[in-house]
Structure 1
């Protein structure tokens, strides 16, 4: 079963709702979140100050999922966060585990 790292960039005002959703979903077993400055985001989701500065505050969430789970998780995110402007991408995970 191949693992993927799903990266999501979301506006800070929906961070809590996104994290709550991921906590309830069995397909996002391990994830992290952190505040970021994002560049190159669509200007329609930026306020005037952010447009001048060229960056926007965002929350980055990274979740380990399987390739089989990706479609269902993205569909749920599309339903729950339509119109919010969440950016995402996936990358293959070469190795992962727990060091005890």
Structure 2
């Protein structure tokens, strides 16, 4: 049995927060997810409002969850089908250790 776990992080435009929450809640994730507001900084000004360009940051909602390898594949397939072209930035990292203290 494969026990590999992965941390998935996504920066989501605020207008998509509810849709992404609904999408994630429909998946059978055994571990849940967390969300929190972040400021994204990027040298590319594509899609930024004038205000965002002046301040050098764009508001995003960060989602984080950790999943099994199978759950990761299912999540990415589902997200790509639902949110293709939406500008959601994601990355995946292996979990070396986790637990509850």
In which range does the TM-score fall when normalised by the shorter chain?
0.7 to 0.9
Aligned mates of 2:45, 2:34 — CA distance in 1: 26
Structure 2 portions without partners, runs of 5+: none
Give the conservation status (yes or no) of the 8 Å contact 1:8–1:87. yes
Q: 1:79 aligns with which of 81, 85, 95?
A: 81
TM-score normalised to the size of structure 2?
Answer: 0.86
| Aligned residue in 1 for 2:72 | 70
Structure 1 portions without partners, runs of 5+: none
Count of matched residue positions in the alignment of Structure 1 and Structure 2? 99
Task: State the 1:14 CA deviation.
Answer: 0.4
Change (3 A) 1:41 1:88: farther
TM-score normalised to the size of structure 1?
Answer: 0.86
